[in-house]
Amino acid sequence: MPPEPRDRPCVNETPNASSLEVLLVFLRLGCTSFGGPIAHLAYFQKELVERRRWCTETAYAEIVGLAQSLPGPASSQVGFALGLLRSGWRGGLAAWVGFTLPSALLMFAFALGDAHLKDAAATRVLHGMQLVAVAVVAQAVLTMRRSLAPDLNRMFIAAAAAATVLFVPVAATNLLAIGLGVASGLLLCRNREHPPAVHEPLLLKRSTAAYAGLVFLSLLLLSRTAASLSLQIFAAFYRTGALVFGGGHVVLPLLEHAVVHRGWVTQPAFLSGYGVTQAMPGPLFSFAAYLGAIISPAHHAPLHALLALLGLFLPGLLLMAAVLPFWSSLRSNPTLRSALRGVNASVVGILAATLIHPLIPSIIHTWSDAAAALTLFGLLNVPHVQPWMLVVAAGALSFFL
């Protein structure tokens, strides 16, 4: 008897669906998927696994596990992999474009209007959105601590990473903290438990994976030699995307270092854009469209927004394609799993350090600011309350009050 659709594994590089179908499905998801990367994965599971049965539950879980173990935006990487396995490379590209385009266009539009939002009322509204950003990052630190640093050893790694970022006076503190996380994970996070066996390989040609890995490494090396401003923007965002373990809000400290420390974007403009991003559907990495657009004069804004987007997303997508055929065997390697535990714990510390500085000092100026941020943090823990709701509410209240 032929297997039920739910029991069929994900397909290989031979497309069995049109890329247009993939584009339309992910375009709708990109317009409606609020709530951050974890919520996005739930939307994908319901729409693509349960309803459309593009792959099995087991294969989907493997893709999610791989995305969470690689640098880059987890939900976008999962969507890219599903599109890739559904309709080849065109399907992967269609999935990324569909899921990213709505939020990227909205953030680009906000960047163009940001120059006109300098009066007192607009400043109050933006400050309300920045308070939401503080609350969202604080919640992300606690949530990630519970899942990624649940024991004393990993809490120690997280604390050491936070101290490294806050107190070690070197330029590449985030990279140093991640490196220490790898070493600490190998020493402190050994685990004899074996992951469950996987009986459904995630099929993709290994030659294709090798090409993707070669492109990833080539661009990473060439990013050090960028000359013009446009290439420097792409290079800075590409290097950031190659280092964002944990995705989501962990990109904040790396982007802040990439654009604020260089003098490309002011701290208030950076935080205003980050606050607005919380109200957008789709991937948080669409923040790059806003940053790229405000780096330079308006006539270069579309090009630089596109380069920033491509630079931030591309490393994670290339790594997903490079590792996908090997993941079923790699995941059982105890050394790799120990190192990843250390890395995941260290990104909790990096995000906590960013909350301590620069977010809180640059946004919380009065007791009323502190009270508002604490209230917003409490509301984020209320069931069915989404960050975008609080962004809208905080902006409106700031305007009227």
**Are the C-beta atoms of 108 and 291 separated by less than 8 Å?**
no
Selected residue with higher pLDDT from 59 and 13: 59
Average pLDDT over residues 292-302: 83
220 falls in which pLDDT band (50, 70, 90)?
very high
Say yes or no to pLDDT of 293 above 50.
Answer: yes
Say yes or no to pLDDT of 192 above 60.
Answer: no
The two tokens of residue 333 are 């390697």
Q: How far apart are CA 250 and CA 148, in angstroms?
A: 13
Say yes or no to pLDDT of 198 above 60.
Answer: no
| Residues 276, 282, 283: CA angle, nearest 5 degrees | 80
**Are the C-beta atoms of 331 and 64 separated by less than 8 Å?**
no
- Domains in the chain: boundaries: 16-96, 117-400
The two tokens of residue 268 are 């208030």
pTM of the model: 0.75
Determine the pLDDT at residue 290: 95
**Are the C-beta atoms of 323 and 209 separated by less than 8 Å?**
yes
Average pLDDT over residues 150-165: 92
Determine the pLDDT at residue 390: 83
Average pLDDT over residues 117-132: 71
Q: How many residues does the chain have?
A: 401
Determine the pLDDT at residue 40: 82
Determine the pLDDT at residue 119: 59
**Are the C-beta atoms of 395 and 125 separated by less than 8 Å?**
yes
Average pLDDT over residues 261-268: 88
| Residue 192 CB partners (closer than 8 Å, separation 6+) | 334
Question: Rounded to a whole number, what is the distance in angstroms from the first to the last CA of the chain?
Answer: 67
247 falls in which pLDDT band (50, 70, 90)?
low
Strand-pairing partners, residue 245, are 71
Say yes or no to pLDDT of 265 above 70.
Answer: yes
Average pLDDT over residues 9-15: 46
Determine the pLDDT at residue 7: 40
Selected residue with higher pLDDT from 38 and 370: 370
| Residue 67 CB partners (closer than 8 Å, separation 6+) | 74, 75, 77, 78, 81, 247, 320
